[in-house]
């Protein structure tokens, strides 16, 4: 039986990035995972990761065979332990929604003190957040516009592109706030629907504040979203940083989600949102 190796990738090997073709046929174990480290911009069109026990680097986990691993070693200029390598290949824990797994990680071997640290520890954020306009996928309370009106930012969310569908995720209430749970996306074999907005870069300030990004409550990330059979790559959304066991959301928050979803997502998906609130937490339709 052919030996399989898990590899955590965080830069140009990620989906839709320039070197992803090397692992395109490999099985993706997790598209939203993290490992401990600090990510830096080398200035040469790719990032380098340094060791850290305090910070996180976000990426994807794949299962590769021996031939694919050799190709990755060549790309990362890894010649073997104790050699003059550009990257060292190390084993460390990668954390996924399915649990923690051991995986190979390519750690930058050169000094990093003069390099720019990458915000959020995410190469995709570093690549895409600077754009003047972004597509933003809302799956929770941001589907509803009542708080936009109250916060006087409704004009920033008027360009609704359509109902987006995201494969291999489901909604879970993994953030515990003072009054109950808040919505998150976790990897699964299901599908999530939500509202896709076209936003300008100035809207990020509002979303960062609302999602508690600077307090590391939610983090920005990029996913693929399908609208009317057309797939849009690298669409912005926000995921919970430190996920915990699901907690029932407060009634006002559940109301916002259902109010924003009703008449916009499919009837079957709306029913699923309602049924999940009942079966998980005993909450009846609001």
The catalytic residue positions are 211
Q: How far is CA 105 from the centre of its chain?
A: 19
Nearest residue to 32 via CA among 56, 12, 2, 55? 56
Strand order in the sheet with 116-117: 47-50, 38-41, 116-117
Helix (H) or strand (E) holding 193: strand 180-200
Q: Distance between terminal CA atoms of the chain?
A: 54
Question: Angle CA(185)–CA(187)–CA(190) in degrees, nearest 5?
Answer: 90
Q: Is the dihedral of CA 152, 218, 123, 53 positive or negative?
A: positive
């Amino acid at each position: 039986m052919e030996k399989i190796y898990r590899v955590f990738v965080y830069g140009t090997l990620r989906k839709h990035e320039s070197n992803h073709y090397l692992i395109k046929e490999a099985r993706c174990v997790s598209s939203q995972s993290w490992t401990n480290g600090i990510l830096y911009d080398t200035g040469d069109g790719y990032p380098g990761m340094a060791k850290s026990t305090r910070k996180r680097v976000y990426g994807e986990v794949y299962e590769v065979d021996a031939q694919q691993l050799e190709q990755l070693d060549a790309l990362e200029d890894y010649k073997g332990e104790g050699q003059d390598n550009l990257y060292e290949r190390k084993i460390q824990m990668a954390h996924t929604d399915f649990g923690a797994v051991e995986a190979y990680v390519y750690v930058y071997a050169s000094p990093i003190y003069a390099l720019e640290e990458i915000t959020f520890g995410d190469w995709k954020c570093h690549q895409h957040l600077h754009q003047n306009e972004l597509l933003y996928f809302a799956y929770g309370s941001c589907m509803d516009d009542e708080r936009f009106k109250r916060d006087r930012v409704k004009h920033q969310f008027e360009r609704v592109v359509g109902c987006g569908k995201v494969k291999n995720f489901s909604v879970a209430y993994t953030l515990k706030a003072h009054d109950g749970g808040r919505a998150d996306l976790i990897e699964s074999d299901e599908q999530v629907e939500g509202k896709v907005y076209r936003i300008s870069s100035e809207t990020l300030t509002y979303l960062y504040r609302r999602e508690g990004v600077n307090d590391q409550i939610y983090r920005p990330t990029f996913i693929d979203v399908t609208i009317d059979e057309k797939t849009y790559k690298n669409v912005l959304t926000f995921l919970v940083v430190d996920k915990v066991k699901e907690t029932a959301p407060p009634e006002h928050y559940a109301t916002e989600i259902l109010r924003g979803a009703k008449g916009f997502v499919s009837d079957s998906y709306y029913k699923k949102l309602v049924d999940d609130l009942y079966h998980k937490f005993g909450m009846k339709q609001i």
